[in-house]
Structure 1
Amino acid sequence: RGHGLGNSNDEREQTLNQLLVEMDGFEANEGIIIIAATNRPDVLDPALLRPGRFDRQVVVPVPDIDGREKILAVHMKKLPLAPDVNPRTIARGTPGFSGADLANLCNEAALLAARRNKRLVAMQEFEDAKDKVMMGAERRSMVMTEDEKKMTAYHEAGHALVSLNEPASDPIHKATIIPRGRALGMVMRLPERDSYSYHRDKMHANLAVAMGGRVAEEIIFGHDKVSSGASGDIQYATDLARNMVTKWGMSDKLGPLQYEQSQEGYLGMGQTARTMSGGETNKLIDEEIKRLVEDGLARAKAVLSDQEDKLHLLAQAMLEYETLTGDEIDQLMKNGKIDRPDEPKGPVSVSQPGGSTVPKAGKKFGGTGEGAPAGA
């Protein structure tokens, strides 16, 4: 291991030198193969990777749909499964999951079945476990006022409605106003298949969806009532726009050039710093980042202003049902109602105005677990 992004020390250098000496002592015909693994390739000393030492490097990415299905099959052998459990369906709905994520998913599903006094782990447990892994655990005990709950419902409805009107956006998996993790609510979108590259139209769609919550608050409650709940959305949109301008060459004014480069970066790790950064260039970079985010804001405002009736409809449905699936949202937009056999679960605990402490709301828009869509 080299010094990476910090300073080296004598012990580390002595360990490295001793390892290199030992490796150089092997003859070519001794039949000894040295295998090593690391999750921090950015801090490896280049001397370790020179020809004659670790010649072959294998990068292990997250599994594709076939890999996820096989990993699930291994972990499911330990569980008493109901007949409706289909590993292929679960694999299709978990893009970006690592092997550890899938193992955790199976464990969570088994725990849910045990809490519900079920002898078999059914598909419903896997769906609920997936929501817990991707969106965080429900916090139904959290105290929210009616005004806060209404604000959250319109915020999430704004995200969902803009997503439905952006053809390049990923389909909605679930929208909820039940507090999960550190968020008051969220709209989770999932890609229909594994993606390895992302197009400009999808990035612009993601910017519009990110701004949908803030725009909905402004349309319904007015400029002075816009909340801090969009802080996570603004951070995500700014980061995406910055990457579009400085890394992916998607600014017509700046051209297809890279204005930020990684230091000690390998496999996306390390720090970034601007290069070619004259005063005028830096100013233009900031202007282009602002323009992209404001374009997304304008797209969201155009959709929600034109479809304010649907915004009210979706927000009222979320207040009534608290959690809606993507299929239920599509049904609501087409038919004006949701055919759900069970009764609404009722509201979250409500206190008198002024009697709660509310954390800022964040949103998740795509699978890794990142607040950002995969690859954005």
Structure 2
Amino acid sequence: MKKFSKSIGFYLIIIAIGVLIANYFMPHQTAEELTYSQFIDMVEAGDIKEVTIVGENLIRGELPDDQSFQIDIPGTIEKVEGILRDNDVDIITRPEPEPPWWTGLFAYLLPTVILIGAWIFIMNKMQGGGNKMMSFGKSKARLHDNEKKKVTFDDVANYEEVKEELVEVVEFLKSPDKFNKLGAKIPKGVLLVGPPGTGKTLMARAVAGEAGVPFFIISGSDFVEMFVGVGASRVRDLFEQGKENAPCIIFIDELDAVGRQRGAGVGGGHDEREQTLNQLLVEMDGFEANEGIILMAATNRPDVLDPALLRPGRFDRQVIVDKPDYKGRKGILEIHLKGKPTEDDVDTGVLARRTPGFTGADMENLANEAAILAARRGKESIGMLEFDDAIDRVIAGPQKKSRVISDKEQDIVSYHETGHALLGELLEDADPTHKVTIIPRGRAGGFTINLPQEDKSFITKSELLDKVTMLLGGRVAEEVFLDDISTGAQNDLERSTKIIRNMITDYGMSENLGPLTLGQKQNEQVFLGRDISRSRNYSEDVAALIDKEARAMVDACYEQARTVLTENRDMVEDMVAALKEHETLNKDDIKEIIGKYKPGFYDDEEAKTDSLEGDE
């Protein structure tokens, strides 16, 4: 801080001295300024006896009270000279004095000195002050402080397999002799791979808390600069720091910022990022061994990384940090609810079942949104109602309470959502309906939430077809019960078409085209990395067959939706009336309506639910 203050003071003093010197040599205006009219009047009155004409337009002289005056004559001075002679005023002429040669030089040098001083000050500030003006090549890695906010594996729910892999890394660092006796070599790199929000960085922080060794953190973007060679220099400096503090862990977040595949630039150019990557590859597994340094990295784009990074000897281990399952979501939510007052009706198990596909970041956001809603409603604790509204907010967006809809639009939305909701319940392989509402949220006039009873790794053909049928149910309900269709089904049609085409071209689920993958995914070289595109490896005749098959499968699902809804007209009208009255129906309300027309419909489902809860 002292060096920083001194540097500021030094430059301020230089600027101040320069301003004072310039001010000293500037001409000082001590004489009284007269207007042209005043000057002429005083000449004609005889108050001025003698004047000095300096240069071409400036007149100086003295008044009767010995006060000096000066006046800058506008235009030519010949007319004024005539007036002066007519009034017997003595005229002295004097050329305008020229300033010393060095004052002009000083006028040019002062701005230059100020600009150079400002540039040095800015560069010092950017590089941390002191004598680091040209220290672009220094690493920006930060040493993690475990004492400030220590995170351990206890703070990370689920991911037991991931923890096991990383605990082994910690053990290597803590007790290397135990592994060396058996000839085991310490892994050089661990790559955490997974979608955004799954907790890759949190897992690295937990390793830092568990290891008890120096833990350096740096982002992949910190290596890349506009100056060629800076990134490579920073990589060298980073590993030098690591060697001085070995054993240690170096963590690079967002590795894809620096580790994208080489040779992908336009024209095959060799850019700064590629030099940085080359240096990283050499440091990880070059001629010199980096004993005691483990490199950890995180990315959600492993497909664009350079193959040389992923080979054994560099990133020896790739640990998948995927979206959590039911138990993981439950554990994550319980961690984020610590320290938050909750009501007795809050059941984390129920909330975990209602949030399939949520990541750890989503669960944290869910707990925070529920707390915000409770505070907004003036409550002292968070209830199940707040969590229910928070889930809707996360999935569909904020509620539009001020939006006024007409009776006709309410009919369209009610029948549309009823079609989705009933098909979700009545179709055997569709995901059951959890909630249906006609309250606008986000860009949706209403929405239906369908949740699977359990997490799935694979989806069958019958489940995909029932999903398409359920998506088309809103459009069918409008057509059957309102004798008209609206634009509300746009997203449903888009999703159903995508599912059907994937079934035909990717999954080989078409009876007419057979078990074939139609279209080939290929890696195209694009600027700074790779992208995935799909090329056609089939003829125009096959393309026509794909279109025909897709149309036939969609038509079959459409007709099935029409049949189910037509056969249950009274049930549809009953649910539409309930929706218009209450605006939102939960699972129990839907079960009550369906049970009125189909007694015993849910007996098998309740038995299955009881068995699942018993397994827990």
Normalised by the length of structure 2, the TM-score is 0.52
1:227 aligns with 2:465: no
User: Does the 8 Å CA contact 1:5/1:43 hold for their aligned counterparts?
Assistant: no
**Deviation at 1:4?**
9.1
CA distance in 2 between counterparts of 1:175 and 1:326 reads 8
Name the structure 2 match of 1:201: 462
CA distance in 1 between counterparts of 2:343 and 2:522 reads 50
Name the structure 2 match of 1:183: 444
User: Does the 8 Å CA contact 2:519/2:536 hold for their aligned counterparts?
Assistant: yes
The amino acid that maps onto 2:516 is L
CA distance in 1 between counterparts of 2:298 and 2:394 reads 27
The amino acid that maps onto 2:260 is G
1:83 aligns with 2:364: no
CA distance in 1 between counterparts of 2:370 and 2:578 reads 28
Aligned partner (choices 556, 560, 585) of residue 295 of structure 1 = 556
The amino acid that maps onto 2:337 is M
SS in 2 for 1:57: strand
* Bigger radius of gyration among the two: 2
Name the structure 2 match of 1:361: none
1:255 aligns with 2:506: no
1:211 aligns with 2:472: yes
SS in 1 for 2:520: strand
1:11 aligns with 2:301: no
Name the structure 2 match of 1:32: 293
CA distance in 2 between counterparts of 1:6 and 1:191 reads 42
Aligned partner (choices 300, 311, 330) of residue 50 of structure 1 = 311
Q: CA-to-partner distance for each residue in 1:322-352, whole Å, 9 max, x for gaps?
A: 110122011012237xxxxxxxxxxxxxxxx
- Structure-2 change in CA distance of 1:2 and 1:205 (3 Å): same
Name the structure 2 match of 1:2: 260
Q: CA-to-partner distance for each residue in 1:241-282, whole Å, 9 max, x for gaps?
A: 0110011110011111111333349xxx95341442211111
Name the structure 1 match of 2:576: 315
**Deviation at 1:291?**
1.4
The amino acid that maps onto 1:239 is K
Structure 2 unaligned regions, length at least 5 = 1-258, 525-529, 598-616
CA distance in 2 between counterparts of 1:74 and 1:160 reads 33
User: Does the 8 Å CA contact 2:427/2:466 hold for their aligned counterparts?
Assistant: yes
SS in 2 for 1:296: helix
CA distance in 2 between counterparts of 1:261 and 1:5 reads 23
User: Does the 8 Å CA contact 1:63/1:99 hold for their aligned counterparts?
Assistant: yes
CA distance in 2 between counterparts of 1:5 and 1:328 reads 60
1:131 aligns with 2:389: no
Name the structure 2 match of 1:74: 335
CA distance in 2 between counterparts of 1:270 and 1:160 reads 38
Aligned partner (choices 539, 542, 562) of residue 281 of structure 1 = 542
Name the structure 2 match of 1:157: 418
CA distance in 1 between counterparts of 2:350 and 2:549 reads 41
SS in 2 for 1:203: helix
Aligned partner (choices 405, 419, 425) of residue 144 of structure 1 = 405
**Deviation at 1:132?**
1.5
Bigger shift: residues 24-33 or 309-318: 24-33
**Deviation at 1:136?**
2.0
The amino acid that maps onto 1:288 is E
SS in 2 for 1:37: strand
**Deviation at 1:308?**
1.7
**Deviation at 1:100?**
0.2
CA distance in 2 between counterparts of 1:29 and 1:216 reads 67
**Deviation at 1:6?**
7.2
Name the structure 1 match of 2:70: none
**Deviation at 1:303?**
0.9
User: Does the 8 Å CA contact 2:438/2:446 hold for their aligned counterparts?
Assistant: yes
CA distance in 1 between counterparts of 2:260 and 2:363 reads 33
Name the structure 1 match of 2:362: 101
User: Does the 8 Å CA contact 2:261/2:307 hold for their aligned counterparts?
Assistant: no
CA distance in 2 between counterparts of 1:4 and 1:43 reads 10
**Deviation at 1:28?**
5.2
Aligned partner (choices 453, 456, 460) of residue 192 of structure 1 = 453
**Deviation at 1:29?**
7.1
CA distance in 1 between counterparts of 2:265 and 2:554 reads 38
Name the structure 2 match of 1:362: none
- Structure-2 change in CA distance of 1:73 and 1:18 (3 Å): same
Structure 1 unaligned regions, length at least 5 = 337-376
SS in 2 for 1:234: helix
Q: CA RMSD in A?
A: 2.1
CA distance in 2 between counterparts of 1:138 and 1:82 reads 24
Q: CA-to-partner distance for each residue in 1:4-38, whole Å, 9 max, x for gaps?
A: 99746612212211211222247557121111111
User: Does the 8 Å CA contact 2:571/2:593 hold for their aligned counterparts?
Assistant: no
CA distance in 2 between counterparts of 1:26 and 1:121 reads 59
User: More relative contact order in 1 or in 2 (CA 8 Å, sep 6+)?
Assistant: 1
Q: CA-to-partner distance for each residue in 1:157-177, whole Å, 9 max, x for gaps?
A: 111122222011111110011
**Deviation at 1:86?**
2.5
Q: CA-to-partner distance for each residue in 1:36-64, whole Å, 9 max, x for gaps?
A: 11111121111211221112111111111
Q: CA-to-partner distance for each residue in 1:283-342, whole Å, 9 max, x for gaps?
A: 111111111111110110111122222211111111111110122011012237xxxxxx
Name the structure 2 match of 1:370: none
The amino acid that maps onto 2:324 is P
CA distance in 1 between counterparts of 2:337 and 2:396 reads 22
Normalised by the length of structure 1, the TM-score is 0.83
User: Does the 8 Å CA contact 2:478/2:486 hold for their aligned counterparts?
Assistant: yes
Matches within 5 A, 1:237-248: 237-248=496-507
CA distance in 2 between counterparts of 1:273 and 1:162 reads 34
Q: CA-to-partner distance for each residue in 1:71-107, whole Å, 9 max, x for gaps?
A: 1121111311222222222222222110000000000
Q: How many residues align?
A: 331
Q: CA-to-partner distance for each residue in 1:210-229, whole Å, 9 max, x for gaps?
A: 1111111111222xx31111
User: Does the 8 Å CA contact 2:304/2:531 hold for their aligned counterparts?
Assistant: no
Name the structure 1 match of 2:240: none
User: Does the 8 Å CA contact 2:523/2:533 hold for their aligned counterparts?
Assistant: no
User: Does the 8 Å CA contact 1:64/1:194 hold for their aligned counterparts?
Assistant: yes
SS in 1 for 2:449: strand
CA distance in 1 between counterparts of 2:281 and 2:371 reads 47
